[in-house]
Structures are given as C-alpha cells and as structure tokens.
Structure 1
Amino acid sequence: MPASALFAVSIESGNARIATSPLRELCKREGPDGVKDLRIVPLLYSDGRRDHDRTTRIAVGYCRLLQLNSGALKLSIVLQDSWKLEDIPVFIEGVQNDFQVLRQVHGAGQKQDVQEMESSVQHDLEKLVNENASHGGEYLLPRVAKTLCESSRDVMTAVRDLRYKFESGLALSSLEAHASDSYTHIVASLLQINVLCGRASDQAREASREGLWVYLCDREVYHSYRKLQDPTILNDFEPATFGMRPWIRSHDAAIRQCVQLQQQAEMETIAIQSLISSATGISSSREADAQSRFNLLVALLSIGIGIPGLFLAMYGASELLPLDSMGKLLLFAPVLVSLLGAAVIAWWKAPRGRLGKLWKQCAALTVVICAFMVGCAWYFQRL
C-alpha cells in the first residue's frame, strides 16, 4: 500500500468543543463503518519546518484519528484558530524598515487566507502522518497519535522564538533613539501569541485529562491509566501496567507530550503577561518623558518669545528697528541673549531620535538669525 493511501485526510475549521456523542455512536456501530479505535489529539501547527525554518503560519486545533472496523484509517483535522505573520513597513529615524506582525486569520473577508492555511496544514500533516505510518506494523493508530502530539509539542519552540523576536523588538523600540510605530504592533502581536498559547494549553489540558478520548472505545485503559496517574482516584480498576496493552507505551508517551505542551504553553503565557506589564510601564514612562519635554518646550518658547516681546513693548519697535547702529544693537542685546540662550538650551536638552533632530535644527536656525541681525547692524553702521 503506498504511503499516501494509509490515511484518508480531511480538514475543516470549527469550534474547539469536541462532540463525543457522535463518536460514541460510531464506536457502538457494527459493520465496516463502525469505529474500532480512535484518538483525539491536540494540534499546534507551524509551517517553519517546511519553509526553511521561517515560520509564517501557526494554527491551533485538534486531530481525530479513527480506525474503522473495515481497517480503513481516517485523520480529520479541525482548526480552532490560526495566525499569519505579515510584513509591514515602519519608519525608524526616518528610514523604512520591514517589520513582522502576527495577525489572526478568520472571517469571510479572509477566505483566501483561511483556504491557504487549511491547505498548508493538510499538506504538512498528511506528509508527517504517512511518513510515520509507512513503516507499517501493528497498532498504527496509537503510534501516529504519539507522533502528532510530539509534533505539536515541538512547535512550541517556534512559538518561543517568535516571542523572543517580539521581545527584542519591544526592547529596541522602547529606546528613544529607535522609537517608532512598531511599538504598538509588537504589543498587539504579543497579545496574539498569548491567545495562541492559551488555546494550545486548553487543548493539551483537555486531551491529557480525557486520555485522548480513548475511553470511547476502551474504558479499561482510560480508567487504569488515570489510576496510574493519581492513585487516590476511587475506581475499581487496577493501575495500568506495561503488559496491559501492546500499545500502552505509545499511549503513555502521547499523554506525556500533551502534558509538556500544556506546561510550556502556560510558561509562555506567564512570560508574555510579564512582557505586557513591562510594556505598560514603558508606555507610562514615555508619556512622562513626553510631558517633561513639552514643559521644557513651553519654557523655551517663553524665553525666546516672552523676553523679546517684553523689550519691544517697553522701548517700541520703532525705537529699536532697524538695527543700523551699535546703540540700537546694545538695546537689542537682551533680546539676542534670550534667543541665543533658548537655542543653546534646546540643543543641549534635545531628545534622541527624529524629534531631537528637529529641536537642533530649530536651535541652529535661531543662532543663524541672530548672527544675521548682528551682521546687518554692523554693516549698516559702516555705511
């Protein structure tokens, strides 16, 4: 049998809730369409392995593995939610840079993205499952379930790398010298990763608690394995042992992978929440710095405009202008000193980044104007 024919693979986008009643009826049904064995495993998907380790799509959901009485094997993939990395242009110090944001893929307006996501997930999982199943042998279903759980747990590495990437971007954009619009995009992407990890943790927690839903076809394995996990559980079953089922080791490994997936997803959630709290503190600090710069700007304007206005009101503009003599220039000296003082303070206290360049340009322009006025006075005096 060719590898591509081992599993019939289908995919859909649906709700996270797993309906057990139809599956229970299938397990009770006799005939070739009845279900002999089944597993439901959590799904955390990333296309990073296929695309040269560059993650562009991430999805969360679950997989239904069914073995019919006829011997046919079916894999049904249900996507609960999906995300896509997109490049957007941001400007840092006036230079355009490409920046990636994590965007949720859903809704009728993104039908093409949903179809591309489903096609990517189906292609990669079908290849993964059939490569594992091509070795043949008995008890194929538990082994494939373990492979899918392990693959989902491995994807947490890609999620962690994304979090590191956005964390580094957050640290960079927090600096005044690199302040840009990317700050908001980073926080939004971190929130999306937090949602992603929360959903993955929920799926893994439910799968480990329900024993991959093996009780729908084999109650003894489910209750015995639960007794092995927690000896204080009150039931009539003995704890599971190595010889209970030939595939019990694969089942145990799959459950352990689900537990690891849950723990790692929860750790990522804690880390992201700490990052968001830090981002909130950084945002408050930036607002305080902006208020401080505004107060300084108002003070500089009061010096550069208020003092000259006061002297012009006292002596009259007609008495001081034009500056065609040194006497008038001496009377105008307080105005020049106030303008030069404001320019020096603006240059010295200029913030970093694009705003700081604007401050320095204004200060330099003020100095040039003052020098021009003095030069004009000296020129007219010599005439």
Structure 2
Amino acid sequence: MPSTSLLFAGDPAEEGYGLRAAVSSEPPPQVWRRSNSDALLVPPLLRLIGDRGDRRIVVGAARVEVTAEGETSVTFQVRAVWREDTGWRQESDREGLDEVLVGSLAEPAHRFAGDPASVAVMAGKALAEASRNEVAGLRGLRYDLERHVADLLAQRRSTALRSLLAQVIELSMAFSRARDHARETIRETRPETATHLAALRHCEAMDVELAEEVARLQALLTSMSTFAVAQDGEAQQRFNMVAAAAAAGLGLPALILSLYGADAFLPFSFDHAWRALLPIALTALVAVGVVLRRMPGRATWRHYAAAVGLVALLVCVLLVAGLLAPTNPGAG
C-alpha cells in the first residue's frame, strides 16, 4: 500500500509549499503501461543519499500521475543503485530505499496549484530540478577520486591503484545511466507550458553536465592506466635496486672477511667482536644508503629504519656465528 508523504515542502517545511502524494516503488517496465490518470509525466530520478562512507547513488525515473480528483501519486522506478562501502560498487539491495528517497526530496521547495495537468507538470519540474541539483554532489565524488589519485602519485597514502580504477569505472557507469534517463525524458516529452519547458531545460542541463563528468572520468581512467604502466616499470626498477642492496649487504661483508680474514678473531669474544663487525656494519649501511637514495620515488624514514634493521640483523647473524665458531688451534 503506497504511503502518503509531503514532497518539495522545503527543509524545514514552509507554509503553502509542498505536494502530498502517494509514494511507492515498482520495477522499471520495458514499456510504459497505459494510465487512467488525467496527467502523466516521467522525469529522471537521480539522488545521492546517505552520509560519507555509506552513501548511495540512485538512478532511475519517477512516474508522476494526477487524477481528475486531484489525487497525486509518485512511483519510483529505480534502475540501479551504487553504494559506497570500501569503494563504490553496484548493489541489488533496495531495503528501506523508498523512505530515504522521500526524505531526500524536501528540496527544492515548490508551490502546487491548478488543474491535474498543472500539478503534474510542476511535480515533474521539481523532480527534474532536484535530479539536476544532484549533479553537483556527483561532481564532488569525482573531485574525491582525483584527490586520491594525487595522493597516490605523491605517495601521501598507500591506496591500491586497482581499487581506484574500479571506482572510476563504477562511477562512470552510474553517471552514464543517469544521463541516459535525462536524454530519454528529453526525447519523449514535448513542452506544452512554460513550466514544462523549464523542466525539460533542467533535463537538458543535466544531460550536458553529466556528459562533462563522464568525459572527465574517462580522461582520469586513461591517465590512471598510463600511470599503472609507469608504476609497473617503477616497481621493476625498485626490485632491481632492492636486489642490489641485498647483494651489497651480503657481498661486502664476505669481501671484507676474505681480504682480511677472521681467524684471529674467532671464536668471537665480546672484546674482539666490535672490532670485527663495526667495519662490516658501516660498509653495509653505506651501501644500503646509496641504494635508497637512488631508488625511484621518495625514500621515507620507514625505508631508512627498515634498512638499519636489516643491517643490524645481518650483524647479529655474524655475531652469533662468530660466537659459535669452533676454536682455531692455529690462531695466535
């Protein structure tokens, strides 16, 4: 049973504004059924609802019908819903969606009066204007994605590139679907009054603005794809540098031990250990430091801390090995 709600009365509600209508939802039909109402309009439906971190993009159409007795009904025909969770993704769960949609349609405030056709046209105009106003919110989503990409490029955060690429594609699909509904309304509706013409202009503006957003998202996707290729090359270079650091960390101590020998110090005592291991530690630190300085990207304090930790681990291994080494009878 459709529930009766007050739409477009303002937030907070203003005296003399708003339309009381029976609100319901139904699956989108392949072909519009014939209506017994005196007036029927089908404006696009685009809403960005919810709080940051748990927002939803709702795309579809709204069927507005007004009978000769003045009874108004608004039927939401939702085509697709995208939800913000760990990232944007399309979902099929519509539970509780009607109530949230009604709550999001307090603005823009409108006065409704006149015959059924006038009320239907004004309701269609209000819905079209509300959908067009949501494009600004969608633009904010694109700005957020661009900021995440900039943070990734500047290494200010460790966001996964694959996740960002998926979100760009999902939002591009949502924007394109919303644009399709705006264009469908423009194509199937003929303006008969000034209010009706204003409603179509909102749909036309929605079409143009969404087309621009889709183009921006496609350009962002192309840029990110190029960056992904460059990132793969950088990762290969970084691996080569890490391999060089590992080779230096293992090879230089071995070279020192082979040149000067360690027989005189083995087995280690704590008095002799620092004299044998200090040159090795310093040499390994210098080698790893040079590698970090030449590594692509900005080396952070975590990189240097990890390098010091690896060198300390190497020295500890050599110390333990020296302490456990068998006594050399020929050592003087």
Report the Cα offset of residue 56 of structure 1: 2.3
Q: 2:113 aligns with which of 132, 136, 140?
A: 136
Distance 2:82 2:199 in 1: 25
Deviations 1:85-106 (A, max 9, x none): 33x5xxxxxxxxxxxx323221
Which residue identity is paired with 2:201?
Answer: R
Deviations 1:2-48 (A, max 9, x none): 98483211123x34x5513x22xx3xxxxxxx222211111101236
Report the Cα offset of residue 128 of structure 1: 5.2
Q: 1:67 to 1:337 in 2, by over 3 A?
A: closer
Report the Cα offset of residue 181 of structure 1: 3.5
Report the Cα offset of residue 203 of structure 1: 0.5
What is the correspondence of 1:26-45 to structure 2 with a 5 Å cutoff? 26=35, 34-45=36-47
Report the Cα offset of residue 157 of structure 1: 0.3
Residue 11 of structure 2 is aligned to residue 9 of structure 1: no
Residue 300 of structure 2 is aligned to residue 360 of structure 1: no
Report the Cα offset of residue 144 of structure 1: 1.1
Distance 2:78 2:235 in 1: 44
Q: 1:279 to 1:256 in 2, by over 3 A?
A: same
Say if 1:10 and 1:122, in contact at 8 Å, map to a contact too: no
Which residue identity is paired with 1:7?
Answer: A
What is the correspondence of 1:84-95 to structure 2 with a 5 Å cutoff? 84-86=83-85, 88=86
Report the Cα offset of residue 188 of structure 1: 2.4
Say if 2:168 and 2:221, in contact at 8 Å, map to a contact too: yes
Partner in structure 1 of residue 64 of structure 2: 65
Q: 1:258 to 1:342 in 2, by over 3 A?
A: same
Say if 2:64 and 2:74, in contact at 8 Å, map to a contact too: yes
Q: 1:204 aligns with which of 156, 177, 182?
A: 182
Which residue identity is paired with 1:78?
Answer: Q
The 3-state SS of whatever aligns with 2:95 is helix
Say if 1:343 and 1:366, in contact at 8 Å, map to a contact too: no
Say if 1:320 and 1:332, in contact at 8 Å, map to a contact too: no
Say if 1:38 and 1:66, in contact at 8 Å, map to a contact too: yes
Report the Cα offset of residue 276 of structure 1: 1.4
What is the correspondence of 1:141-290 to structure 2 with a 5 Å cutoff? 141-176=120-155, 178-211=156-189, 222=190, 248-290=193-235
Deviations 1:300-322 (A, max 9, x none): 22223234435656887646634
Say if 2:24 and 2:74, in contact at 8 Å, map to a contact too: yes
Distance 1:59 1:205 in 2: 17
Which residue identity is paired with 1:283?
Answer: A
Moved more, 153-162 or 180-189: 180-189
Report the Cα offset of residue 179 of structure 1: 3.8
Distance 2:276 2:311 in 1: 23
Distance 2:30 2:199 in 1: 18
Partner in structure 1 of residue 16 of structure 2: none
Greater helix share, structure number: 1
Give the total of aligned pairs. Answer: 301
Distance 2:91 2:5 in 1: 31
Under a length normalisation based on structure 1, what TM-score does the superposition of the two structures give?
0.66
- Percent identity, aligned pairs only? 24
Q: 1:169 to 1:271 in 2, by over 3 A?
A: same
Partner in structure 1 of residue 89 of structure 2: 103
Which residue identity is paired with 2:211?
Answer: E
